Amino acid sequence: MSRKRTIRLAGAVLLATGTATALATPSVANPQTAEADSPKPVASAAMAEAMQRDLGLTAEQAQTRLAQETKARNAEDTLRQSLGNSFGGAFFDAERGKLVVGTTDASEKSAVRSAGAVAKVVPNSKQELNAAKAELDRMEGSAPDSITGWYVDTRSNSVVVNVNKTKRDAETNKFLARARSVDESVRVEQVKRSPRTLYNLIGGDAYYMGSGGRCSVGFPLQGGGMVTAGHCGDTGTSASGHNQVHMGYFQGSSFPGNDYAWVSANSSWTSKPWVNMYNGYARTVAGSQEAPVGSSICRSGSTTGWHCGTVEAKNQTVRYSQGAVYGLTRTDVCAEPGDSGGSFISGNQAQGMTSGGSGNCTLGGTTFFQPVNEALNAYGLQLATN
């Protein structure tokens, strides 16, 4: 691998939120009357409206981009398998409207182009980058508090280590020197803030834990229940809905290490394949196909509502005060306290549940989510889908 120049790292923050598909309307509604009171099934114009606001697109551009990203998702799935060990990662290039696919083998460029993607010869395979990132994961226990996390950056074909610039000291520099020695692909970027868990008792489409605090629904499940953020509750914790009516119990929870959980729901609650868009409408969930880096993505949360942005990186390690979480996805979507556990969706495909981040929805920020498929696979669950 070739030596990459050093840059400075970014930070993260945990955010408690959730989106209730099978939810009641944006105003508090009884779950038994959700059929009548729930947001109307998705209006694509409403999604386009949020993308216009947050991504600076026209309505036509938003629809075009969603179509382009559907093709990009399919192309990434195909090329990841066909390129094998030479696959160097992929990301959606919004300016070109195409997927850019890295390959360490120049002879594969024509195959990439044949799949409708842009070929880019890179020094490191995705497998090599993941191996370097895994080595950093093994060093997590010795990292100082100033180190906020690390992730594979497919755009630059490197592994980025994030450091809080306000806490950088001699111990930090020693760790960074060790991190750089792991592989030439490792580089450093600085950020202004460190991650933290956030529980904010604000009304809306929320649920409440018997142990205290409030989070929000992530994605409803077939057969009842939901997935949400693991830091919201331990296994056995009771949960009540937005109207304080008992819902169920945390049947499984993993945090730190991961940040996912699943919560059972009793007969008072009906799962619907929707994500609340906080405008009287809901986005319908059709599946959970993973979106490429560079894709547009939207988030639903009970504090800040519906906001959109872009997938920046995958497989991020984030160091919260409670411990490190591995394999998160990094976005530039804003979020605030009270948004943890909420839905991330790209097009009509579920992506994950809000974990944490930094910044806010006034100035912008970075938000991380726990990929939903990992949670579904861990517990043998299926999403409620259209």
Catalytic residues: 231, 259, 340
Report helix, strand or coil for 114.
helix
DSSP sequence for 148-183: EEEEEETTTTEEEEEEETTS--HHHHHHHHHHHHH-
Say which amino acid occupies 222: Q
Residue 226 to residue 88: CA distance in whole angstroms: 34
Q: Are 46 and 281 in contact (CB under 8 A)?
A: yes
* Nearest alpha carbon to residue 191 among 166, 170, 172, 209: 166
Q: Which residues of 196-217 are buried (b: 16+ CB within 10 A; e: fewer)?
A: bbbbbeeebbbbbbeeebbbbb
Residue 220 to residue 207: CA distance in whole angstroms: 13
Q: Which stretches of 234-322 are assigned E, i.e. beta strand? A: 238-240, 246-254, 260-263, 274-276, 282-284, 296-301, 305-320
Alpha helices per DSSP H over 168-279: 170-182
- Distances 252 to 15, 72, 278, 323, 375 between C-alpha atoms, Å: 20, 34, 29, 18, 10
Q: Are 138 and 106 in contact (CB under 8 A)?
A: no
